[in-house]
């Protein structure tokens, strides 16, 4: 059986399971559609949250970004886990006690203002759609590889599948499907990592293998890797460069996590306040299983790639074009070249492919001496690394099929959760509450589905030319969440005096300033070529990269909110009483909707 058939079987079987569950648990009422009737156990909820959370960015993209950059991209690891601490301590229990269905609903009630609610809906839509672009990017990569088509075709297929899938079920379908997806994605991520860790270090636990001895050289794995990459002119794997950007970027991802509407919505679905606290912990347990493995996947993949291009070591000869074309060990290259995400070119015509850092001045001298005329691995899309990893390590075909299924599970589960957040914001917060309160349940569900479809079309169109690799696009969504929703949610709980004018001004400031900063460097609406300044560090304000801007937006949001709130009337006494009541767990009933 060929690889294509095996991929189809694995992906097909996993899809059959998800769709089966979605049909079995089809949402009947609007309450079920949004929040699964609140009957979800904290461990199960934690697992579903983990699947919801770990998207194409975590599964497909993150290890690749770590692999090619090293220590500096540890931001993704700390940022996307540390946010759960903020979530568990600062938001989850109180939002559960408040007991409504959506984030804009909380903001509208707490700040006693429909305007605040509408502004929250706008923030939510901007965040979620940016996030969906990242998912589409990742899902497109996965589909293009396993169906062996061009990247853009993969993207269209991905959007069709997401559409059918998300429109079928609401949260209840999604909760149990997401448990199944978690199982698929964690198995798919772990198995190849275990194989590779055994091959390289003899240690079956990848997270420990990362800090173990590399069997071939007898040195530590990281020491070996540092040696090879620096010999080729790349930055040392374990060394850091810009500590300011790294700290800000990490903070952006952390605050953003705690401000992401589709994750917050999860904590509305647990039965009790105490469960909301435990749920965040369980979610992080399931997330950590992947996140402790990811840095090992990154480092080991980088080592394997170096080894493929420099089979005789970096002082020896590079791999020959003939070997790449004929040796089955290099089949993965041909497979990925047809997606358009990988490419090589024998620039100096010596029949060999030299992969090195041609931007490094010291390396240029050495290259001239050895007759190299530039880096010949001309294209290596970071998003292919995790999916290509089992092929690069020559693992059995079923492992490769498994990772295709896992990558798609990760992209689909998150896309579905995001679309749910988008659709509930439009149908519930905009249409039902503000525009047409007399709308029937059926009409509300229809609007929910129409808004999902609209969001997918927009995200697919923008996903054709994404403003970065999947994890970077997703990181932009986090920056926006950090700058808009997190500060007002937190002030809504921790400050009784924060009023509607302050919250609205804060959210708008955070949203507008952050979007302006992103669009300046990445293009208006992320459309390539419309950027005002080139996206290079020399142009950045105080050296802060667009990816790391979230905390600055959040700071402005906090500052403006406090200033405006101090200079306008205090919130009404019943709102202050509401804040008192959400601070204690007692009296948390089942959630209501108005």
Using the minimum distance from each CB to another protein, give the nearer residue, 80 or 336: 80
Half-sphere exposure at residue 110, Cβ-oriented, CA atoms within 13 angstroms: 32
For residue 77 the two structure tokens come to 């690891």
**CB neighbours of residue 1 within 10 Å:** 9
Told to check if 281 binds another protein by CB under 8 A, we report yes
Told to check if 495 binds another protein by CB under 8 A, we report no
Q: Which of 4, 15, 156, 211 binds another protein (CB under 8 A)?
A: 211
Which part of the chain contacts another protein (CB under 8 A), choosing from 204-212, 347-355, 437-445, 567-575?
204-212
d(CA 19, CA 327): 40
Query: Helix (H, G, I), strand (E, B), or coil: what is residue 29?
Result: coil
Q: How far is the CB of 231 from another protein (least distance, A)?
A: 16
Q: How far is the CB of 267 from another protein (least distance, A)?
A: 12
* Range 350-384 burial, b when 16+ CB lie within 10 A, else e: bebbbbbbbebeebbeebeeeebeebbbeebbbbb
Which part of the chain contacts another protein (CB under 8 A), choosing from 106-114, 249-257, 337-345, 415-423?
249-257
Using the minimum distance from each CB to another protein, give the nearer residue, 294 or 564: 294
Using the minimum distance from each CB to another protein, give the nearer residue, 67 or 404: 67
Q: How far is the CB of 205 from another protein (least distance, A)?
A: 11
Altogether, the residues listed in the chain come to a count of 594
Q: How many residues bind another protein (CB under 8 A)?
A: 52
d(CA 82, CA 87): 9
Contacts of 42 (CB under 8 A, 6+ apart): 270, 275, 278, 279, 282
Told to check if 77 binds another protein by CB under 8 A, we report yes
Q: Which of 207, 233, 390, 463 binds another protein (CB under 8 A)?
A: 207
Q: What angle do CA 479, 240, 58 make, to 5 degrees?
A: 45
Q: How far is the CB of 223 from another protein (least distance, A)?
A: 4
d(CA 285, CA 377): 38
Told to check if 285 binds another protein by CB under 8 A, we report yes
Query: Helix (H, G, I), strand (E, B), or coil: what is residue 440?
Result: coil
Q: Which of 315, 586, 592, 594 binds another protein (CB under 8 A)?
A: 586
Q: Which of 41, 74, 348, 593 binds another protein (CB under 8 A)?
A: 74
DSSP string, 354-403: ----TT-HHHHHHHHHHT--S-S--EE-GGGHHHHHHHHTT--HHHHHHH
Q: Which residue from 575, 565, 553 is spatially nearest to 504, judged by alpha carbons?
A: 565
Residues facing 320 on adjacent strands:
352
Told to check if 202 binds another protein by CB under 8 A, we report no
d(CA 539, CA 224): 36
Q: How far is the CB of 583 from another protein (least distance, A)?
A: 6
Write each residue from 295 to 334 as x if it is in contact with another protein (CB under 8 A), else as -, in one continuous string. x---------------------------------------
Write each residue from 79 to 98 as x if it is in contact with another protein (CB under 8 A), else as -, in one continuous string. --xx-xxx-xxx--x-----
Told to check if 238 binds another protein by CB under 8 A, we report yes
Using the minimum distance from each CB to another protein, give the nearer residue, 243 or 534: 243
The conformation of residue 529, written as its DSSP 8-state character, comes to T
Q: Which of 107, 273, 476, 489 binds another protein (CB under 8 A)?
A: 273
Q: Which of 1, 243, 349, 567 binds another protein (CB under 8 A)?
A: 243
Told to check if 71 binds another protein by CB under 8 A, we report yes
For residue 572 the two structure tokens come to 């009404």
Told to check if 489 binds another protein by CB under 8 A, we report no
Beta carbons of 14 and 408 less than 8 angstroms apart = yes
Would the CA dihedral through 242, 359, 335, 397 be positive or negative? negative
Q: How far is the CB of 494 from another protein (least distance, A)?
A: 8
The conformation of residue 213, written as its DSSP 8-state character, comes to B
Using the minimum distance from each CB to another protein, give the nearer residue, 84 or 344: 84
d(CA 515, CA 81): 25
Write each residue from 335 to 374 as x if it is in contact with another protein (CB under 8 A), else as -, in one continuous string. ----------------------------------------
Binding site for another protein (CB under 8 A): 71, 74, 77-78, 81-82, 84-86, 88-90, 93, 207, 210-212, 219-224, 226, 238, 240, 243, 246-247, 250-251, 254, 272-274, 277-278, 280-281, 284-285, 288, 291-292, 295, 580, 583-588
């Amino acid at each position: 059986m060929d690889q294509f058939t095996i991929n189809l079987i694995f992906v097909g079987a996993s899809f059959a399971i998800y769709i089966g569950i979605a049909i079995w648990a089809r949402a009947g009422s609007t309450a079920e559609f949004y929040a699964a009737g609140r009957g979800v156990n904290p461990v199960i909820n934690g697992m579903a949250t983990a699947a919801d959370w770990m998207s194409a960015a975590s599964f497909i993209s993150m290890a690749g970004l770590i692999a090619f950059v090293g220590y500096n991209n540890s931001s993704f690891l700390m940022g996307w886990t540390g946010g759960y601490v903020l979530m568990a301590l600062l938001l989850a229990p109180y939002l559960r006690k408040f007991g409504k269905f959506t984030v804009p609903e909380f903001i509208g009630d707490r700040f006693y203002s429909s305007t605040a609610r509408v502004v929250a809906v706008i923030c939510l839509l901007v965040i979620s759609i940016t996030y969906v672009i990242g998912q589409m990017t990742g899902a497109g990569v996965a589909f293009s590889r396993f169906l062996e088509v061009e990247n853009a075709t993969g993207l269209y297929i991905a959007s069709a599948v997401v559409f059918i899938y998300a429109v079928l079920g609401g949260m209840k379908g999604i909760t149990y499907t997401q448990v199944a997806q978690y199982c698929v994605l964690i198995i798919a991520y772990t198995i190849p990592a275990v194989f590779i860790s055994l091959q390289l270090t003899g240690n079956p636990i990848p997270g420990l293998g990362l800090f173990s001895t590399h069997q071939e050289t007898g040195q530590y794995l990281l020491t070996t890797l540092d040696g090879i990459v620096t010999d080729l002119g790349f930055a040392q794997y374990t060394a850091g460069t810009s500590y300011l950007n790294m700290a800000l970027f990490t903070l952006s991802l952390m605050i953003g996590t705690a401000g992401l509407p589709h994750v917050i919505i999860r904590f509305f679905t647990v039965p009790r306040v105490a469960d909301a606290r435990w749920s965040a912990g369980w979610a992080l347990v399931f997330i950590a299983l992947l996140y402790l493995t990811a840095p090992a996947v990154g480092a080991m993949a980088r080592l394997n790639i170096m080894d493929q291009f420099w089979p005789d070591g970096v002082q020896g000869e590079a791999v020959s074009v003939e070997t790449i074309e004929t040796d089955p060990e290099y089949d993965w290259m041909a497979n990925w070249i047809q997606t358009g995400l990988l490419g090589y070119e024998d620039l100096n015509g010596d029949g060999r492919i030299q992969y090195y850092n041609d931007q490094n001045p010291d390396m240029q001298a050495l290259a001239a001496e050895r007759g190299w005329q530039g880096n010949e691995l001309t294209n290596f899309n970071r998003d292919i690394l995790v999916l290509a990893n089992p092929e690069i390590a020559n693992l059995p075909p079923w492992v490769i099929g498994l990772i295709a299924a896992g990558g798609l599970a990760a992209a689909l589960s998150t896309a579905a959760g995001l679309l749910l957040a988008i659709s509930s914001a439009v149908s519930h917060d905009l249409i039902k509450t503000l525009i047409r309160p007399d709308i029937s349940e059926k009409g509300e569900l229809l609007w929910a589905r129409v808004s999902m479809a609209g969001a997918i079309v927009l995200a697919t169109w923008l996903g054709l030319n994404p403003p970065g690799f999947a994890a970077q696009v997703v990181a932009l969504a986090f920056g926006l969440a950090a700058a808009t929703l997190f500060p007002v949610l937190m002030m809504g709980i921790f400050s009784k005096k924060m009023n509607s004018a302050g919250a609205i001004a804060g959210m708008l400031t955070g949203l507008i300033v952050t979007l302006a900063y992103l669009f300046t460097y990445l293009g208006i609406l992320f459309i390539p070529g419309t950027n005002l300044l080139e996206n290079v560090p020399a142009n950045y304000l105080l050296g802060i990269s667009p990816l790391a801007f979230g905390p600055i937006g959040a700071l402005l949001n906090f500052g403006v909110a406090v200033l405006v709130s101090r200079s306008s009337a205090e919130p009404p006494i019943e709102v202050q009483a509401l804040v008192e009541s959400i601070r204690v767990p007692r009296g948390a009933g089942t959630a209501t909707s108005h």
